[in-house]
Structure 1
Amino acid sequence: MERRHFLTLPLAALAVPGLMAAGAGSANAATPVQALKGASNGGSDALSFRQIKSLNPDWYYTWQATRTYTGKPFVPMIKDGRRLLQQDALGFVNRELSQTKTANLLGFNEPDHPLQANMSVDEAVRLWPLLQTTGLRLGSPATISPDAKWLDQFMLRVKRENLRVDFMTMHCYAWPDTADFLRKVARLHDKYQRPVWVTEYAVADWNVSKTHKNEFTRPMVEKFMRETVAGMRKLPYVERFAWKNRPINDPQMGTSSLFKLDGTLTSTGKLYASL
């Protein structure tokens, strides 16, 4: 996935008391272990494979149902309704199970973003039982913010219609404030009482313009990376995380980039590989 733009939501969100207590949604809950580091890469060429390997990940994903690289454990995703209904995404997942041996399946990618899955809550709820037929542990749809109203509405319907969501997925692109980031992770877990996967996160300066350069330097980003990785690994409910790469010349997120333009690791990429 290549994000073009989104508006960050307010940091404060109203908790829904008692929402999603343990029940149908936690049937396949995993035993807590130290959070596993991931990589995300949608490419299928030799450079993409080298980049995945160079980050030393425990797992990777491609925003798709099919794997591209056999050197690391793969987690498939059903990105949107079109891929589910028209491109036999579940068929690919099921046919590759004997090779991938995955126990997990990621749900819709940013359904509340018009340039991503772009799905209504009604559509997502209607299609969700198809994902359940795999028997895999299911990650929630990943909204553009963990505080998104879309996610609240979806999880209320999950409870009401006795659907299954086994872990929450989360995207976060904001300033390099470790305490604030970890509070968001904790709030998502506490709200829905499920393990958390942070499937996309990095530092972004959404105020960049012709007159305002990215104010978050690479040392600031790397300090944030060290602290957040260490912090998530101390949280028993965080199962996995993956830093999101953007091109090094990206105005908002270039200082978070893991790779140089030639595909080799930046200092940030080398740090991530070492963690």
Structure 2
Amino acid sequence: MEVQRCHRALSDARVGWFYTWSSGRGGIKAPAGVEFVPMMHDAGSVTAAELHRAREQGRILLGFNEPDRSDQAHMTVKEALDLCPRPESTGMRLGAPAVATGGDVAGGWLDWLMKGATVRDYKVDFIPLRWYGADLTPHARQPSCAVTSRPCTSATSSRSGSPNTRSSTLRRAPRVIRPRLNRRLL
């Protein structure tokens, strides 16, 4: 039942892609035209088996989930940087780790990661933008990728409100922040 609800929500929101916080789809069958994007959730998920599964499931790979939070990936910048060569070895397009807060702050977790990636000559193709609010307009002016020149894409939307409100907000979001946001991860 939950998988069917996911299929309908993806269709209703007219999204271009989705993820499940892992390298697998979790049984979700996406509507036509909706791409699955695997993720390396945390340090423990960066294994040969998970990276292989990610390559089989998609062409784009999301980085760690909220490494700046102790209840999520919970990693230092150095730990994340030390693991970067493994996802890079897949040859997939790579998203930076999606921080929970402060993505636009100079000297923040994402800023230090991007500086380290530049020094080490690591590949980062785009920056996931986290947004949990009701109004995306302020983020259109200051997206999470303000600390870097890489393109942004929306990785997470609001968890508040009714399913109809969330779907409506997601449908409006690409118009609000276009062209700074890459909805389809192309």
Asked if TM exceeds 0.5, the reply is yes
State the partner residue of 1:161.
120
Evaluate the alpha carbon distance shift between residue 177 and residue 45 of structure 1 in structure 2; reply closer, same or farther with a 3 A threshold. closer
Secondary structure at 1:198 match in 2: strand
Q: Please tell me the residue identity of whatever aligns with 2:176.
A: G
Bigger Rg, which one: 1
Letter in 2 for 1:155: M
The unaligned stretches of length 5 or more in structure 1 are: 1-42, 205-215, 242-275
2:139 is equivalent to residue 181 of structure 1: yes
Partner of 1:199: helix, strand, or coil? strand
**Which of 92, 96, 110 is the aligned partner of 2:53?**
92
**Letter of the structure 1 residue corresponding to residue 5 of structure 2:** L
Q: Matches of 1:218 and 1:70 in 2, distance apart?
A: 18
* Cα deviation, residue 119, structure 1: 0.8
Q: Equivalents in 2 of 1:168, 1:194: separation in Å?
A: 7
CA shift digits 1:15-74 (9 cap, x unpaired): xxxxxxxxxxxxxxxxxxxxxxxxxxxx97343334334433322211110123254321
Count how many residue pairs are aligned between Structure 1 and Structure 2.
177
Matched position secondary structure for 2:154:
strand
CA contact (8 A) 1:175 1:203 kept: no
Provide the secondary structure at the position in 2 that maps to 1:93: helix
Is the CA contact 1:77–1:108 (under 8 Å) kept in the aligned structure 2? Answer: yes
Root-mean-square deviation (CA, aligned residues, Å) is 3.1
Q: Which residue does the alignment assign to 2:22?
A: 64
Q: Confirm whether residue 240 of structure 1 aligns to residue 183 of structure 2.
A: yes
Contact kept? 1:199, 1:240, Cα under 8 Å:
no
> If the length of structure 1 is used for normalisation, what is the TM-score?
0.56
Secondary structure (helix, strand or coil) at the match of 1:240 reads coil
1:231 pairs with 2:176: yes
Q: Which amino acid in the other structure matches residue 240 of structure 1?
A: R
What amino acid sits opposite 2:133 in the alignment? A
Q: How far has the Cα of 1:176 moved from its partner? A: 2.6
Structure 2: state its 5+ residue gaps.
none
Aligned to 1:252: none
Q: Percent identity?
A: 29
**Does the residue aligned with 1:76 lie in a helix, a strand or coil?**
coil
Structure 2 counterparts to residues 111-122 of structure 1, below 5 A: 111-122=67-78
Distance 1:229 1:203, change over 3 A: farther
Aligned counterpart, 1:80: 42
What is the rounded CA distance, in whole Å, between the counterparts of 2:8 and 2:159 in structure 1? 24
Greater relative contact order, per chain length (Cα 8 Å cut-off, separation 6+):
1
The SS at the match of 1:77 is: coil
1:106 aligns with 2:65: no
